[in-house]
Structure 1
Amino acid sequence: MRPPLPPFTQATAIEKVRLAEDAWNGRDPEKVALAYTPDSQWRNRAEFINGRTKIEALLVRKWSRELDYRLVKELWTFAENRIAVRFAYKSHDDSGTWFRAYGNENWEFDADGLMRRRIASINEHPNKENDRRLLWPLGRRPDDYRGLSELGF
C-alpha cells in the first residue's frame, strides 16, 4: 500500500502530490518506480510505456541527461481516485545549457494508492541563468520555498 489512499480529499490529494514531488527530487529511479503498479501505463512526452521496469529505465535515462534536476508540483484538481497536477522543473544538460520544463499530469490510482496510469504533457525551453527560479539545494524542496503559483508559473 502507498498512502494516502483514494478516494482523495483536498488534504490527501495535496499530500500525495507533495510525496510524489519529494520522491522525484530524490532522483532514485528504483524508489520512484515503486509508487506505480507493476503494469502501470505511462504517456511521457511522445513515449508510451507499460510497467515498473520500463518506468525505471525511463527515469534512469531521464536523470542521466537532466542534471541538477529540481521539480515543483502543484495540485490542479482531484476526484475519487484521480489527481491532476501541474509542474515545472529545471535541469541542465552535459554542455551546461539550462532548461525549464512545464507540464500537466493526470494520475489514476488503484485502491492501494499505487499509480496505475500517468499521462504527462510537457513543454521545455532553454532557460537563461538569470531567469532560473528553482534554486534550492539538490533534493527535497524546502517547505518554505515558494510553490508554482507563488513563483508565477
Structure 2
Amino acid sequence: MFGISALGWVHTLGSLPAIPAAAYMFAIHGRIIPRSKAGAVYFVSMLIGGATTVLVAHAPVSYGIGAATLLLLVTGYAIGRLPAPGRAAIYVETIALSLTAFLLMVPTATEILRRVPDGHPLVTDLHSPLLLGVQASILAALVIGLTAQIIYLRKTGKAAV
C-alpha cells in the first residue's frame, strides 16, 4: 500500500507518534518539553525515525536530514542535563527541538502529498505549487514559532531575575 516497503512502515509508524506528541507540547507549553511523558514519546519516536532514515532513504538529502535530526535531538535533550549549562541552555534546547519538529514535518508532508491518494497522488513533481506552498507554510510556522518562543523565554527569564 502507498508503495511503502516493510522497513518503510517501521520507519513511518515508529516516527508517527512524534507528531501528536509535538503538537500537544506546542499547544500546552509552547515548546517541546524534554523531561515530560510527551517528551519521552517524542524522543523515542524521533530517534526511531531519524535512525531508520538511512535504511529507507532514496535521496541523498534524506541522509543529511536524518543526521541533522539526530544531532539536534540529542543536543536538545542533553543540554539541560549538563552541569551548570547556563541560561543559554533553555534557548539551545528550544531551538534545537523546534528544528527537529520542522525536520519531521517537511518530509512527512512531502511524502503524504506524493503518496495520497494511493495510485493518484496529489503531487507528482517536487516543484509542484501545492508542495512548495505546504513546505513554505511549514517554514513560516517555524520562523513565527521560534520567534514567539524566544520572545516568551526572554520575557519569563527577565521576570525570574
Instruction: With the length of structure 1 as denominator, give the TM-score of the two structures.
Output: 0.27
Structure scoring higher RCO (CA < 8 A, sep ≥ 6) equals 1
TM-score normalised by structure 2 residue count: 0.27
- Computing the radius of gyration from Cα coordinates, the structure with the larger value is 2
More strand by share: 1
Structure that is richer in helix per residue: 2
